[in-house]
Structure 1
Amino acid sequence: MAMEGEGEGKEVPEVLVLGPPWVFSTLESQFPNKFRYLKPWLFPQLPLHQFLTSYAQSTQALLMPVIPLLNSATLDCLPSLKLVVTASAGVEHLNLADLRGRGIAVAYAGNVFSEDVADMAVGLLIDVLRKVSAGDRFVKQRLQPTKLHFPLGSKLSGKQIGIVGLGKIGTEVARRLEGFGCTISYNSRTKKPLVSYSYYSNVHELATNCEVLIICCGLTEETRHMINREVMLALGKDGVIINIGRGAVIEEKEMIRCLIEGEIGGAGLDVFEFEPEIPKQLFTLDNVVLSPHAAITTHESFGGMAKLAVENLEAFFSNKPLVSPYLA
């Protein structure tokens, strides 16, 4: 079976691609002939493990998205693997302990997506508060003759904002909202010594003292369902939740119940607990704005991620330090 790049007379490094990542087409078009790619999806007649044991035994580098999960069975088929490059800022799809035990390094998206994700967070918040999407539906469905008064929205300026996870994305969100005169508080694993925002050691206290919660943290065992019913009740009936982190940080069933029963005021969601499945109850709520996990999907982000992936791969094959290693 001929793999891409064979017969071209070039000694280029081999990279296995799983998924493939959304940025892969951008990477191929912007950086042609950099690597020889193994593409299992081009051979659907072969089960993945058979493809890997037949054609990837000497492969040292792997490029992949968030899905599929990289499990031990797959790694067992890749005895020469030394690097995983993931086109994601999160790493919950990777068994980091297993990778470390096998001596496999990880490179990730780092801060490439931070500005675009922060833009999306603010956009979702404005949409929920000012009912932009609801207004769009109101006009397009020509509801004016039967419903003359569109519901009042709420201003963003001056809001008390709680940010869950004050990393690079959370910091970019805070910086943007300062421009609206918002008061920023945050919850994070540790207090940030150089940050002037109010710090709360648990999210319940943060929610009690805020009108909006913006979820910017990653998904870990500690953060799974961290935003539970008690936190949402503390946020209050006018409170808004924005999630551009990971869906399972929120206890989704309880959030839906709180939205339907009016125990929180609204939500803007770019991520969901059981993606790609999205609860149908959310579709009919005018105080909810949904986005298809699209916070990172800009031309700029894709181009930046493709460039970063290439830089990490080139560094690896040149025995240089990775550009964006995941070290936690």
Structure 2
Amino acid sequence: MADTAAKGRVLQAGPLRPSLTEILRERYDALVLPDEERERDAFLRAHGGEVIVVVTSGKARVDAALLKALPELGAVVNFGVGYDAIDVDTAAELGIGVSNTPDVLTDCVADAAVGLLIDAMRRLSAADRYVRAGRWSAEGDYPLAHRVHGSRVGILGLGRIGRAIAKRLSAFDCHISYHNRHQVDGSPYRYVSSPADLAREVDVLVVAAAGGADTRNLVDTTVLDALGPDGFLVNIARGSVVDQQALIEALRSGRLAGAGLDVYTDEPDVPEALRALDNVVLLPHVGSATEYTRAAMQDLTLRNLDLFLSEGELVTPVIAGAPRG
């Protein structure tokens, strides 16, 4: 059991896995940040000076106002690989460390991306609906779909997850190319200099880029039009990376053949216009949602928390933070 009494308090910000919430309560006597603004303001006035570490996930904003309301804060421990909900620039300015949970979710997210790609291109979910609605016997055979084997796949963001997706698709004899902020040394895949150029050359574009201000609406109308009426989009990254309204318009007008989405602009709200389309596969942000992966993410979250409380350091830092005396 971590001794937090002499070091300050742990604060949970936003919803977490129930088992993690229970551990934070029982093992660390964690405070919980209220959701309602007035209650939150009163809570921060009463307890803000006690908090030295925040545990959160991508479901809650850890913005500049919250960071500045916690004067003794030394670290933000994030349950998840994506940390775009955390104001990392302000954290860096204040000397606050930030950690995430890389690697442990790579394989399951990559598996989900490939599943979405296959489903979108072969229209498996749509074909399932066709059978369930009794349309096979009434209307005849289901329309032909697109093949996955040997297709040209572009990966937008060749990080850990992007590379794992490419490795899996290589088994389908797919022709892999990618765009990244920087060309990846030693990569066996072909580098393309812009998202639009990449989209123009492939049958399916898989988005695996990090979220945040730098990638907001990176996949816009220009990229979607370059992908074209026979192209498919798969987004396993963050909803903010794709211009969602432009995507809806492209799917609705036939300027894009289909899409597979696990993430959205304003989760958990998915627009009716998107839900009404039959050429898109919609998942409720479950890329890493396996028992194995979530347990591994929880373990790494707690290892980051324990190391910070005992040594003032983080196991998997995004930002190392200032040394604590």
Give yes or no for TM over 0.5: yes
The aligned counterpart of 2:68 is 76
Residue 88, structure 1, aligned to residue 88, structure 2? no
Residue 220 of structure 1: how far off its partner (Å): 3.1
Q: Which residue of 2 aligns with 1:35?
A: 28
CA contact (8 A) 2:8 2:50 kept: no
What one-letter code is carried by the residue in structure 2 that aligns with 1:123?
G
Question: Shift in Å at residue 12 of structure 1?
Answer: 8.9
Shift in CA distance, 134/105, structure 1 to aligned 2, threshold 3 Å: same
CA contact (8 A) 1:158 1:180 kept: yes
Counterpart in 1 of 2:155?
Answer: 163
Q: CA deviation at 1:275?
A: 2.4
After superposition, residues 111-130 of structure 1 pair within 5 angstroms as 111-130=103-122
Change beyond 3 A, Cα 1:115–1:252: same
Contact 2:15 2:60 in 1 (8 A): no
The amino acid of 1:100's aligned partner reads A
Q: Contact 1:163/1:185 (CA < 8 Å) preserved in 2?
A: yes
RMSD: 2.4
Match of 2:280 in 1: 288
Task: Say if 1:194 and 1:34 are closer, same or farther in 2 by CA, change over 3 A.
Answer: farther
Q: Does residue 13 of structure 2 align to residue 18 of structure 1?
A: yes
TM superposition score normalised by structure 2 = 0.91
Q: Separation in 2 of the partners of 1:78 and 1:301?
A: 31
Q: Equivalent of 1:303, from 280, 295, 300?
A: 295
Cα deviation for residue 49 of structure 1 reads 2.0
CA 1:274–1:28 in 2, change beyond 3 Å: closer, same or farther?
closer
- Tell me the equivalent position of 1:134: 126
Q: Does 1:323 align with 2:315?
A: yes
Whole-Å Cα distance in 1 between the matches of residues 36 and 156 of structure 2?
42
| 2: CA distance, partners of 1:71 / 1:321 | 22
Kept in 1: contact 2:121–2:147 (CA 8 A): yes
**Fraction of identical pairs, as percent:** 34
What amino acid is the match of 1:176?
R
Normalized per residue, which structure has more helix? Answer: 2
TM-score, structure 1 as length reference? 0.90
Q: Comparing 303-312 with 88-97, which one deviates more in the overlay?
A: 88-97
5+ residue gaps, structure 2, are 321-325
Q: C-alpha distance in 1, partners of 2:174/2:37? A: 56
Residue 234 of structure 1 deviates from its aligned partner by 1.4
Deviation at 1:188, TM superposition (A): 0.2
> Which 10-residue stretch deviates more, 265-274 or 145-154?
145-154
2:187 is equivalent to residue 195 of structure 1? yes
Aligned pair in 2 of structure 1 residues 46, 234: CA closer, same or farther (>3 Å)?
closer
User: 1:12, 1:36 within 8 Å by CA — same for their partners in 2?
Assistant: no
Seen in structure 2, the aligned counterparts of structure 1 residues 244 and 138 have a Cα distance that, compared at 3 Å, is same
Q: CA contact under 8 A between 1:27 and 1:303: conserved in structure 2?
A: no
- Which runs of structure 1 show a deviation greater than 3 angstroms over 4 or more consecutive aligned residues? 10-14, 28-34, 43-46
Gaps of at least 5 residues in structure 1 are none
The size of the alignment, in residue pairs, is 319
Which of 167, 176, 180 is residue 168 of structure 2 equivalent to?
176
Shift of 1:297: 1.5
SS in structure 1 of the partner of residue 76 of structure 2 = strand
The residue matched to 2:299 in structure 1 has which SS?
A: helix
**What residue number does 2:248 align with?**
256
Counterpart secondary structure, 1:180? coil
User: Which sits farther off after the overlay, 51-60 or 114-123?
Assistant: 51-60
Alpha-carbon distance in structure 1 between the residues aligned to 2:75 and 2:214? 27
Select between 218-227 and 208-217 the one with higher mean Cα deviation.
218-227
- The equivalent of 2:323 in structure 1 is none
The structural deviation recorded for 1:264 is 1.2
